[in-house]
Amino acid sequence: MLKGFTRFLSNRLKRSAEPEPQQQILTRAEHPISRSEIHEGALKVLYRLHKSGHQAYLVGGCIRDRLLGKNPKDFDVATDATPEEVNQLFRNSRIIGRRFRIVHVRFGREIIEVTTFRGQANTQNSAHHKQSEAGMLLRDNVWGNIEEDAARRDFTINALYYSIADFSVYDFTGGLNDLENRQLRLIGDPETRYREDPVRMLRAIRFMAKLDFELEAATAAPIREHAELLLQVPPARLFDEVLKLFLSGDALKTFHLLQDYQLFGMLFPASHEAFKTQPTAQALVEQALANTDKRIREQRPVTPAFLYAALLWPGLQQIWEDLQKRGTPPFPAMQQAGNRLLQRQSQHITIPKRFAFPMREIWDLQLKLPKRRGKQAWKLLSEPRFRAGYDFLLLRETAGEATEGLAAWWTEFQATDEAGQQTLLNQLGPAPKTTRRRRPRKAKPATPKS
């Protein structure tokens, strides 16, 4: 079905090729999108908006993916109704955001994101549109029509609209042509669009890896030169953007693209620096990302704390080793290194505490796991983060770090029975005796002479 659609689209576009993108309309008979494949919640939103006299379209990735023969995960809606009007139509909705006001309509666990058509800013609507001196969009709540909305979107392949009124697909920016050519192209002047929102550079990388598309030359050209624009993005926003980059199933390819376009160092500067001096640092990150891709393919869960622990480990290790060279004992050095690293990292990406705490526990376990003698091994097995710490140890060993066979020992210890575990512990020898230093006795107060 997809090959037939692609052949039809190719012939259609050849007949209508123009220097500038012309509006293209695919009627229901000319595309593969069926209402039976659209989530029920999205259909409810579309129909209610339409029956209330508003324009209603599916837009963005769901249209792009379906035309590529993929199954969309999310269905986003665009309309001429204002956020307040949408909110009034749906009791199960709420308006979110200040920078970009949108509406979330909830159906159980499913959330349909509804956006109002964006328009071009001018002096009359300056209260709803604000930019920084560097050109970054701080507020963009100027409403417009569907053509203006298409021009305000990021990539041409994401500016495709499916109408619930006539079931046609509308293209105002040449997205159908770029889909056919497997090309990723920014709408408008690339440098201006990157300045408006530097995260678009990360989105370009993500779509290149996810869709296996080529980045159009003019779209690619400014990225390396303007990589530092990412430093203007709020660090809290970048936490979620990085998860999108590495949890799409193409993390390893994404990592190499980030390096190629000089963006990785803007996100993880300490690890980027460590790659230059630590032989196994990059191998560890690559192995972690390859493992992440494998888990996603197998539909197994991926923990953000573990992912960030791996991405930050090279930088942490460098600080930790430097502190030990200056005489700080290993465990206090690990604590101090974690503090310093996260303080520096927070200027680039803010890691929420719910992930930072388990991440640090994984790091701490790398110092605890070698201490196995006596009853320590059994105590470590009962640690809440033991499994994550053990998996991280395996990762380090696979990447070539010198762990002296520690991961193999723990693998065998977990697989054997209690008698076998005791044998393994006996082979380590007795636990070293710790001598407790006695506190000096307090001097008795001198007896006053009579």
Taking the C-alpha atoms of residue 15 and residue 9, their distance in angstroms, rounded to an integer, is 10
Query: Do residues 125 and 156 lie in contact, with contact meaning Cβ atoms separated by under 8 Å?
Result: no
Active site residue 154: yes
* Residue 13 and residue 22 in contact, taking contact as beta carbons nearer than 8 Å: no
- Amino acid letter, residue 238: L
User: Which strand (E) or helix (H) includes residue 92?
Assistant: none
Catalytic option among 154, 171, 178, 250? 154
| 280 HSE (CA, 13 A, CB side) | 15
Contact assessment for residue 245 and residue 251, using Cβ atoms and an 8 Å cutoff: yes
Tell me the angle at which helices 281-297 and 304-325 cross, rounded to the nearest 10 degrees. 170
Q: Name the DSSP class of 213.
A: P
CB-based contact 57:166 (threshold 8 Å): no
DSSP string over 309-348? HHHHHHHHHHHHHHHHHTT--HHHHHHHHHHHHHHHHTTT
Task: Please say if 74 is a catalytic residue.
Answer: yes
The answer to whether 76 is a known catalytic residue is yes
Neighbours of 385 (CB within 10 A): 20
What token pair was written down for 92? 């199960």
Q: Which of 76, 80, 149, 391 is catalytic?
A: 76
Residue by residue, DSSP assigns 240-258 as: HHHHHHHSSS-HHHHHHHH
Residues with a catalytic annotation lie at: 74, 76, 154
